[in-house]
Chain A
């Protein structure tokens, strides 16, 4: 198989709409839980002396809107998240969720510090806005079936339309983790691993520095064992730099994706910062159609009917 064919197969191998539909429900459901309690309008009441627009806000000349306007925007956005989650008017809802989300999620980062957990959400919102993620597990699908009783009960045919968005999220995740590993090497080199650096960070974060305190005091316990901290630092760097291998190897996928999730949980426990957004994006790696197939064989076979069984994802050489 030529490189071009392998490339096209990676992105556009026909697949059922089920996995993408389930990812849509979980992703937007998570965003609802995370962002509905958050009051973005409060930023409209902060003094403009704090305003330091990020690159996106500078390029698009996006202003800081007054609180009442932000109030309105955030309600529209949260409604769009809810509609996207249940899959009603999905194309419109995901588009609105992306455009307003880029502004509202980006707004706090224009006030002195960029937290690194939310940019990935905006990129995934953009990917889903351009996708056909509402073709399954959605009210849109139910409505279509009601309106057209002659439509196929097994849903839309397998298509590359349901493959590329999932793969694009994989690429985003790989870029994020790889960049984090590269930054450590660039700024500190291997001393980041071989020194007491991580032990010191674990203690520091029990004093200040973080927006969310560590969930446990385990960081202080770990910091007493220098060798353990160095081992954890080495594992962190290995997971971050090795993550892109998950794109091309199914074996690597089984190692790096769960390891990155454990790392995110570990960071929350001992260092404090919450990267739960990375966890929910990791759900795009789960083969939901096969999982559903094991639980409810009828549903999965209907959803995935048509099209020959194909080789493992991503042109896995292994």
Chain B
């Protein structure tokens, strides 16, 4: 492994010592990085770019999964709802960030409605610009979806239960100026 100081053998040139001010700057940087990281870790709180790095740290005991998932309602009836699972359909959101963001609005109905309206508009904008080839939508529905885990994940497309959280249809959206 690296040893930036371990190469070379010819004692040809003197090594200029680092000025004390420069050494101080390096130590201040070290204090900032270590201090920031310790602060975030001990408080167990995100202080981006410092973090307790708690991903995957909580215990999973149940062989079930409950997740928020957005479904599109196609314009052409009687087409069934389609899950919006491609990042291209909802860019720049991804499939981990969007459910988390929507989950934070659980107690704020108005904000959640605005967020779903934004998702619908963005889906259509991206579709019209050719970013994805999904069907035109007339609305989106947010469901809380629950699966009983199958060891081979054969029921990925067939959750046990879907509970509607909120629906936004384009007909109900007032056109913005």
Give residues in A with beta carbon < 8 Å to B. 8, 11-16, 18-20, 39-40, 42-43, 45-47, 49-50, 52, 54-56, 102, 106, 108-109, 111-116, 119-120, 122-123, 126-127, 130, 157-164, 166-168, 171-172, 175-176, 179-180, 182-184, 186-188, 191-192, 195, 197, 200-201, 203-204, 206-212, 220, 223-224, 246, 250, 253-254, 257, 271, 273, 284-290, 293, 300-301, 303-314
- Distance A36 CA – B34 CA, assembled complex (angstroms): 30
Given contacts A192-B57, A201-B56, 5 further A-B contacts (CB under 8 A): A102-B49, A157-B15, A168-B30, A257-B1, A300-B7
- Distance A254 CA – B63 CA, assembled complex (angstroms): 38
Interface string of B6-23 (1 = CB under 8 A from A): 111111111111100011
20 contacts across the A-B interface (CB closer than 8 A): A13-B5, A15-B7, A50-B118, A56-B49, A114-B51, A116-B55, A123-B33, A127-B29, A183-B55, A197-B59, A200-B60, A200-B62, A207-B153, A285-B2, A293-B7, A300-B7, A300-B8, A303-B7, A309-B6, A310-B5
B65 to chain A, nearest CB (A): 5
Give the number of A-B contacts (CB < 8 Å): 282
Q: Are A14 and B57 in contact (CB under 8 A)?
A: no
- Distance A206 CA – B87 CA, assembled complex (angstroms): 16
- CB-nearest residue of chain A relative to B83? A208
A31 to chain B, nearest CB (A): 15
B83 to chain A, nearest CB (A): 10
Q: Enumerate chain A residues within 8 angstroms of B23, measured Cβ to Cβ.
A: 8, 12
Q: Are A186 and B44 in contact (CB under 8 A)?
A: yes
Q: Are A312 and B8 in contact (CB under 8 A)?
A: no
Q: Enumerate chain A residues within 8 angstroms of B49, measured Cβ to Cβ.
A: 56, 102, 106, 119-120, 122-123
Q: Are B15 and A158 in contact (CB under 8 A)?
A: yes
Q: Are A112 and B98 in contact (CB under 8 A)?
A: yes
- Distance A284 CA – B118 CA, assembled complex (angstroms): 42
Q: Are B15 and A195 in contact (CB under 8 A)?
A: no
Q: Are A313 and B6 in contact (CB under 8 A)?
A: yes
- CB-nearest residue of chain B relative to A255? B1
Q: Are A220 and B152 in contact (CB under 8 A)?
A: yes
A208 with B69: in contact, given A183-B52, A220-B151, A286-B1 (CB under 8 Å)? yes
Q: Closest 5 A-B residue pairs measured CB to CB? A: A112-B101, A304-B8, A306-B13, A313-B3, A15-B4
Q: Are A307 and B114 in contact (CB under 8 A)?
A: no
Chain B residues within 8 Å of chain A by Cβ, number: 81
A111 with B101: in contact, given A160-B18, A306-B13 (CB under 8 Å)? yes
Q: Enumerate chain A residues within 8 angstroms of B156, measured Cβ to Cβ.
A: 206-207
Residue among A40, A115, A310, A311 making CB contact with B96, cutoff 8 Å: A115
Q: Are A157 and B153 in contact (CB under 8 A)?
A: no
Q: Enumerate chain B residues within 8 angstroms of A130, measured Cβ to Cβ.
A: 25-26, 29
Residue among A120, A183, A191 making CB contact with B54, cutoff 8 Å: A183
Whether B97 sits at the interface, judged by CB under 8 Å, is yes
- Among B41, B57, B95, B101, chain A packs the most CB atoms within 10 A around the CB of B57
Q: Enumerate chain A residues within 8 angstroms of B56, measured Cβ to Cβ.
A: 184, 201, 271
A276 to chain B, nearest CB (A): 15
Give residues in B with beta carbon < 8 Å to A. 1-18, 22-23, 25-26, 29-30, 33-34, 37, 40-41, 44, 46-63, 65, 67, 69, 87, 91-105, 111, 114-115, 117-118, 122, 145, 147, 149-153, 156
- Distance A158 CA – B5 CA, assembled complex (angstroms): 8
Residue among A55, A204, A305, A310 making CB contact with B12, cutoff 8 Å: A305
Q: Enumerate chain B residues within 8 angstroms of A111, measured Cβ to Cβ.
A: 93, 97, 101
Q: Are A106 and B59 in contact (CB under 8 A)?
A: no
Q: Enumerate chain B residues within 8 angstroms of A197, measured Cβ to Cβ.
A: 59-61
- Among A52, A115, A120, A286, chain B packs the most CB atoms within 10 A around the CB of A115
Q: Are A207 and B6 in contact (CB under 8 A)?
A: no
Q: Are B1 and A285 in contact (CB under 8 A)?
A: yes
- Distance A242 CA – B67 CA, assembled complex (angstroms): 34
Q: Enumerate chain A residues within 8 angstroms of B1, measured Cβ to Cβ.
A: 246, 250, 253-254, 257, 285-287, 313
Q: Enumerate chain A residues within 8 angstroms of B34, measured Cβ to Cβ.
A: 171, 175
Q: Are B58 and A188 in contact (CB under 8 A)?
A: yes
Q: Are B94 and A301 in contact (CB under 8 A)?
A: no
Residue among B37, B48, B59, B93 making CB contact with A114, cutoff 8 Å: B48
Q: Are A289 and B4 in contact (CB under 8 A)?
A: yes
Q: Are B60 and A204 in contact (CB under 8 A)?
A: yes
- Distance A43 CA – B122 CA, assembled complex (angstroms): 11
- Distance A246 CA – B3 CA, assembled complex (angstroms): 12
Q: Enumerate chain A residues within 8 angstroms of B30, measured Cβ to Cβ.
A: 168, 171
